[in-house]
Amino acid sequence: MFYREAGQYKTTYQADMSIFPILQDRMGLALIITAALLLPLFAGEFMIASVMVPFLILALAAIGLNILTGYTGLVSLGTGAFMGVGAYACYKLSTAFPAINILVWIVVSGFVSCSVGVLFGLPSLRIKGFYLAVATLAAQFFLQWCFVRIPWLYNYNPSGAIEVPSRTLFGLHVTGASATPTTRYYIALAIVVGITWIVSNLVHGRVGRSFMAVRDMDIAAQLIGIRLLRTKLLAFAVSSFITGVAGAMMVFLWLGAAEADAFNINQSFILLFMVIIGGLGSLIGSFFGAALIYIMPIIVRTAPESFGLTIGAATVEHLTYLITGALIIFFLIVEPLGLARLWQIGKQKLRVWPFPY
Amino acid sequence: MTTLKTTLLALAATTALTGLAIPAQAEDSVFVPLFTYRTGPFAGSGIFIADGMHDYLTMLNERDGGIGGVKIAVEECETGYDTKKGLECYEAVKPKGPVMVNPWSTGITLPLIPRAPVDKIPVLSMAYGLSASAQGDTFPWIFNPPDTYWDGFSQIIKFIASQEGGLDKLKGKKIGYIYLDAGYGREPLPFLDQLSKELGFEAKLYPVPAAEMQNQSAQWLNVRRDRPDYMIMYGWGAMQPTAIKEAVKTNYPRDKFISIWWPSEDDAKGAGDGSKGFKTLNWHAATADFPVIKDIQKYVVDKGKSQSPKEKIGTVLYNRGVYNSMLIAEAIRTAQEVTGKKVVTGEDVRRGLEDLNLDAARLKAIGMEGFTGPIKLSCSDHNGHRPTFVQQWDGTKYVKISDWIEPLSDKVEPLLQADAKAYAEKNAPWPARTEACDARS
């Protein structure tokens, strides 16, 4: 009723295979992108710098993890460290070759993270499930150890942190303190939309299907001619490429300086939560997950103030934990398959309304 | 349609969120945000600091009606000692025109260093943060009085030397250094290396990874094997009580165990009676017997406006919070004097910090006579490099046991200069100082 698709005929194979076969979906997507583009006109600096930029970056990292965990079924606890590899690679590259544009280095650092990811993905052929999670945990600890213990990685700074130098694109400051939140937001938006588009094509194609075949039953996948090692390593490569880019963006477009601790095990867990709550094996789920885990606490935190209530800062923090935790449990009970599934059900219901099916 | 509806909903939510724009700052007040951590793994130290900072500023509001007749609008923002949350706090308070920020975390200070000149908000990182930011010519917006970690290290070495009978007597001694294996703890390493070569002592390093703060048996096993003559500690949070407990367990002589200025009473208490003799650096009193603390008790605590438990008032970290807030207040007052304005801005307070001159008379006037030593900052010196003293744990409280110890400035200064220069080079193009110097004194 709300969602009538009568009269939309698919006359070509291409139309039948398209990712958004329904006109309303395409319109919705166009609307979301337009809204995202126009947002800086209406939103304040806090909204852009502290809500939208981190949200986009975390959503991208969640997409990266989703490729591995959601699509290929390989649980990883090393996401934070792979983000770190991207960040440190980008820092090294941009300080060693300052003349080359920073955006190039953000993308290239993804490849560095990619190769590290492949290396740590090698054991995935032999071990599965919880055991693989533990193996990636080793990657997390080892890489974090490297970030602390190899001074070359942070250019021997006495502070032990990586600091983002000021870099420009077409005369506009893109990174560093002079970069306006709006610039950083548009850069992040462009990268996130671009990568999401590529990934969406990837997971809907042959490669994505082989990922899912491996996830659903790897022996069967092998029997139908999917080479396991290659597929799993490819999943690790794509996943850590994306998380690496997200990590570089996190330091260069969001934080501005980072210690090794920014890429600790908590970061890995939070991303895993985002993927699980958002929906395993769903791109839109990654965005939902990032929104729920990152933006919701901010809303909870700022809500009492906007109603004119004054609550102590620490109390607000405790309340935030309580409410966020309760909501996570609520969503997991209502829909264990994640917010993406909830979204799908909602769409279906509206489509057939007022009939139940 | 659904997509459209949700999009509209999302948009509505977005505007609602933006609509949470913060009420404009009242005309007759200066806004001082306090970044605190009453939650998270470091809350054990953070709560006392937060209470001390909050209570002193509240006391000024209650007793004097603010500073120079202008109320101080105090607002806490909870960081949980987390860099991401700290930056969120920074973005949240920025539109309200804060006159300065106190990050209370080295991790949060570092990203703020390049932002301060752009946003025109001075950063006061009191005895933490980037040591090189003491160089006001390179970092006009960052202040880290009264000492850098290198100053503190040189003071500990000098104290050890005074126990041994002179710096030349350190030759052939073994000095162990147990530190948090993060930027903060590793910062003194090059300095330690240089000192050990110059003075001829042997340095033994015991790094403690942040994830293993509460499990230091491996490090202390090595301590037992190496038997250093003295142990120096740079720790924070749970690392400190654990280290003291381990020292007791391995029977390392506690009076040879000297820490930088962060351990609290609770850290020492954790190890019971065995921790008697443990020493730390400090630059202010650790009791409540001062007019300023009495006023806090009278105007804030007795009126129920403090969150602090009564018995914690006057403890080391509470008083450190008070000291920090005193610097804030005095900087604002100085800014008012310099500019003649009542409602000052961040740019004015930056000048106020550079012109800060707390002599003995001034300390007496604010009820801090004997609480701490005088301090004077300048355009080039944003630190002061003040002397500190050593205090010893007697089982119930810290007792001052040494005179004021000056830092080895001739050794620290070149390091600071080199480091500030390196920072500016690595972060090229680093803006050159354009802020004029008042040179009031």
Asked if B83's CB is within 8 angstroms of A258's CB, the reply is yes
Q: Which of residues 96-155 of A touch B (CB under 8 A)?
A: 98, 141, 145, 148-149, 155
User: Is the pLDDT confidence value at B28 over 90?
Assistant: no
User: Is the pLDDT confidence value at A357 over 70?
Assistant: no
Confidence of residue B438 (pLDDT cuts 50, 70, 90): confident
User: CATH topology for B149-282+390-411?
Assistant: Rossmann fold (3.40.50)
Q: Read off the pLDDT of each residue in B368-392 and give the average, rounded to a whole number.
A: 92
Q: What is the CA radius of gyration of chain A?
A: 21
- State the span(s) of chain B assigned CATH 3.40.50.2300: 29-147+286-380, 149-282+390-411
Confidence of residue B8 (pLDDT cuts 50, 70, 90): very low
Asked if A306's CB is within 8 angstroms of B87's CB, the reply is no
Asked if A24's CB is within 8 angstroms of B3's CB, the reply is yes
Least CB-CB distance to A261: which of B1, B15, B210? B210
User: Is the pLDDT confidence value at B19 over 60?
Assistant: no
- Which pLDDT score is estimated for B11? 44
Q: How far is CA B232 from CA A99, A124, A176, B271, B425, in A?
A: 44, 44, 37, 18, 32
User: Is the pLDDT confidence value at B27 over 70?
Assistant: no
Measured in degrees and rounded to the nearest 5, phi and psi for residue B179 equal -145, 155
Find the closest chain A residue to B187 by CA distance: A158
Amino acid occupying residue A249: M
Q: What is the CA radius of gyration of chain B?
A: 22
End-to-end CA distance of chain A: 12
How many residues can be counted in chain B? Answer: 441
Tokens of B87: 């930056």
Measured in degrees and rounded to the nearest 5, phi and psi for residue A32 equal -60, -45
- Which pLDDT score is estimated for A269? 92
Asked if A32's CB is within 8 angstroms of B429's CB, the reply is no
Q: DSSP string of A136-195? A: HHHHHHHHHHHHHH-GGGGTT-TT--EEPPPEEETTEEEESTTS-HHHHHHHHHHHHHHH
d(CA A52, CA A291): 9
| SS3 readout for A40-61 | HHHCCHHHHHHHHHHHHHHHHH
Asked if A258's CB is within 8 angstroms of B114's CB, the reply is no
Q: Read off the pLDDT of each residue in A170-177 and give the average, rounded to a whole number.
A: 81
Query: Are A63 and A55 a contacting pair, CB within 8 Å?
Result: no
Find the closest chain B residue to A306 by CA distance: B20
Q: What is the ipTM of this complex?
A: 0.83
For chain A, which residues make up each domain, given as ranges?
42-263
* Chain B residues with CB-CB distance to A176 below 8 A: 114
pTM of the model: 0.86
**How do residues B278-302 score in pLDDT, each as one tens digit?**
999 999 999 899 999 999 999 999 9
**What's the gap in Å between the CA of B165 and the closest CA on chain A?**
32
Cβ burial of B305 (10 Å; 0-12, 13-18, 19+) is middle
Q: Residue for token digits 């996570």?
A: A328
Cis peptide before B429 (omega within 30 of 0): yes
Asked if B80's CB is within 8 angstroms of A317's CB, the reply is yes
The CATH architecture to which B29-147+286-380 belongs is 3-Layer(aba) Sandwich (3.40)
